[in-house]
Each structure stands twice: as structure tokens, then as C-alpha cells.
Amino acid sequence: MKISDIVYEHIDKVRVMERFDMVSMPKKATWYLQLLAWILALPETYMVKAKIIKKNVKGLKGPYILLCNHNSFLDFKVATRAVFPRKSTYIVAVDGFINREGLMRNVGCFMKRKFVSDIKLVKQIKHSLEINQTVCQIYPEARYSLVGTQSMLPSSLGKLIKLMKYPVVTLIGNGHHLRQPFWNLKKRKVKTKAYMTQIITQDEINTISIDEINQRINEAFVYDDYKYQLDNNIKIKEKFRAEGLEKPLYMCPHCLAEFKMKTKDNRIWCENCNETYEMDELGRLSNINGETKFSHIPDWFEWERLQVRKEIIDSKYHVELDVDIDMLPNSTGYYRIGSGKLIHNKDGYHLIGENLDIKKPVIANFGVHIEYDYFGKGDCISFSTNEDTYYIYPHNQEYSVTKFHFATEELYKLSEKK
């Protein structure tokens, strides 16, 4: 089936369908498929004039772990070029295997359910490095950046790397979000740059602590595409450059109304108070009516996070939404099992439907996967158990799923402190 299809099926039938094979070891890509991967990847990287700046990688031999930031599909193509002519294996979310599982496995991909602890993954990464002798590409943020800035990383990452005992290289792309922002997938004309840096050598891995590993990774994963745009005088002249920005910027900084923001062409405005901002060719915002609360998109975004955090601290955060529920049992695609209710509060997530009752406590998710207008079916959030992945579409599409993004992370942070 097409990913955009809505296929209704009873939950009992979906539950007995064959499940994704989550335990198979990753394959080393055959020569002809690796050649195809290079052929598909290289042209677009040259089209955007992607510049890859390498630091501390001279003489790096043998397999290593490559940690990449995640802004758009261009990330994968730049990473393929960055490690050329070496082969890679890739951790890919289960939805990346829909209708092409055989091909994905044969080019070296192995699957993961997002934000679910999985001990099998350790064996698969180890197999990639020790048996396949390939670069193992990992996107530790586990979701596309919403406004071209870094996302929260799992604290378990340092422990995993310490266990593997291989060098660690980061690849941080700049301009990938600007070229194709998550909130509007139309491509812009943007030159890109990526920094490839070895942050942990083979000699260091045996002596460095887990805390130091996490510190180095977190320091490497600091980026801001809108700052990069301004610093490099990158002009985006497309008229539609602000369309879709109401998805991440859902709260008005003037009247504090939620879910009343609208966009068209290069403008974003609040339907409640009519305050209107223009986005210029350098990505800056300015209020055409008066006071500019935020000129920098990530500043507006992080201000929203603080409002959600305050709601949580004040014990006011509680969401109940009627939703449609899709299940993804295998690579044949999504099956809609009907409607239900999604509850999110200080206790975590609670998804209720016919013959369905799933609770995910706060500490179980440091982040949540969200999608904007996912293949024309609407905005949604997604979470997984060890057996299944669910895509959850609010009936009220005015409610911004971005708020779940903030609330999940802030609840987790507060829970960790306790």
C-alpha cells in the first residue's frame, strides 16, 4: 500500500500480523548497491555545493561510529559523501522500511523503534563494527530538528559508546534545515556546510569516562541554522519561506493565545490579536505593527518551551484529545484501527482505544516523534512499545503537536531531577 493510504483494519487482525524483524544482524552492502547509493547521494550534495570540513580525521582507519545531526533527508546524502569511499551501516526508524524492506536491509540498514530501549541494538551495532568492519551511522537525536537547532540527546549514548570501544566522529550539517525545513518540505536554494570531527580517538576510548563522552557529544551537537544563515549572509528569496512556520511557532508572544497562528508567503500572524511578523530573506522576523518580541526563530521556539515548562511546574499541564490511531506492524504500511483518546500529563502518555490501553510513564520517553501533515493525513505524534509503533492523529488538527514535543522533554527533565 501507499504510505498516504488510510487502510482500516480491526486491531485483533493487526495484532496477529507478522511483525518487523528487529533482531537480524545488519548486512554489508553489496558492491552494486553501494555504487547505487553513491550515485544517488553525490549529485544533490554537489547541487547544494555542500562543503565538508574535516578535522582530526587524518589517518583514521578501521570502523568507527559516526554521529550525525538530523535536519532533513539531505543529511543522509552528505554523510554518504563524507565517508566516501567507505561503506556504512545505518540505524533507521521502522517507518523508513515501508514498501522497501529488502532494499534497505541490503544496503546496510537495520531498524529501530524510536525512543524505546532495545538491548538488541547493542549487538547489531557491535556486529556492524566488528564483523562488517563498516562505519556505523547513528542519528542520536532520533527526530528531525523542528527549527534547525539541536534536540535533546539520550544520556545512555555515552554508555553505549564506551561499550563499543571504537572511535567516535561527529558530522554536523549546517544549512540542511534552511534548504528543506521540517515545517515546509519545499526545497530552497541554499548552500550547505558540514563539519566532520573525530571527538574520541581509539586511544582515548579506554580511559575516558562515560560522563566525559556525553559531554563531548553534547558540545559537538550545538548548532543553529538561522544563525548560520545570518552569519553567512544566505538569502532565501522564495516567497513561501514562512509558510508552515505556525507549526513550530504555535503560540503568540503578544496575547499568549495558542494555536491561533497562521502563515502565508513570508508572513506569520495571530488570528486572535492580529500581530503580524514578516520573515526577511535572511530568516529574521520583524513585527510590521509594532514591537518585535522575537526576531530569531529559535528564540521564539525556546520561549514556547518555557511556557510549557511553567504549565507543568504549576500543575496545569493536562491534555485529552480524541484521536485516530494507526498501527505499523510491518513494512506493508499503516493500518487504522479506529478512534480513541490520548491523555498526556504528569503521569506520561495514556492511549485508549478499542481493545487498546497503553501507558507510557514519563521516564520511558526523553522525547517523542511528531510529524506535520504526514503524507497528507494530518499532524500526528508517534510512540512505540517493544512490539508495535502507533501514529496518533488528533481530531482537532488546530492543536499543535509541537506542544507534545516540549512537554515530553520537560516532563522527562523534571522527572530525572527528582
pLDDT of residue 47: 84
Q: How confident is the model at residue 400 (pLDDT cuts 50, 70, 90)?
A: very high
C-alpha cell at 349: 502518555
CATH 3.40.1130.10 maps onto the chain at: 20-231
pLDDT over 80 (residue 418): no
pLDDT of residue 38: 83
pLDDT of residue 32: 84
pLDDT over 90 (residue 37): no
**CB of 140 within 8 A of CB of 125?**
no
**Mean predicted confidence (pLDDT) in 68-78:** 93
Q: How confident is the model at residue 416 (pLDDT cuts 50, 70, 90)?
A: confident
pLDDT of residue 208: 95
pLDDT over 90 (residue 251): yes
Q: How confident is the model at residue 195 (pLDDT cuts 50, 70, 90)?
A: very high
**DSSP 8-state class, residue 180:** S
**CA distances, 4 to each of 125, 333, 368, 375 (Å):** 32, 9, 21, 5
Among left, alpha and beta (phi > 0; psi -120 to 50; other), residue 195 is beta
pLDDT, tens only, 83-131: 988 999 999 999 999 999 999 999 999 999 999 888 899 999 999 999 9
CATH 2.30.29.30 maps onto the chain at: 319-417
pLDDT over 80 (residue 417): no
**Mean predicted confidence (pLDDT) in 240-246:** 98
pLDDT of residue 119: 87
pLDDT of residue 360: 95
The CATH number given to 20-231 is 3.40.1130.10
In the chain, % of residues over pLDDT 70: 100
pTM exceeds cut of 0.75: yes
Q: How confident is the model at residue 41 (pLDDT cuts 50, 70, 90)?
A: confident
pLDDT over 90 (residue 272): yes
C-alpha cell at 34: 553501494
Determine the Cα–Cα distance for residues 8 and 31; give it in Å rounded to an integer: 40
pLDDT, tens only, 48-72: 889 999 999 998 988 999 999 999 9
pLDDT of residue 327: 97
Lowest pLDDT segment from 10-14, 38-42, 286-290, 302-306: 38-42
pLDDT over 80 (residue 298): yes
Q: DSSP string of 16-33?
A: TSPPP--SPPPPPPPHHH
C-alpha cell at 223: 548548532
Q: Which CATH architecture has domain 319-417?
A: Roll (2.30)
Query: Which residues contact residue 35 at a Cβ distance below 8 angstroms, ignoring those fewer than 6 apart?
Result: none
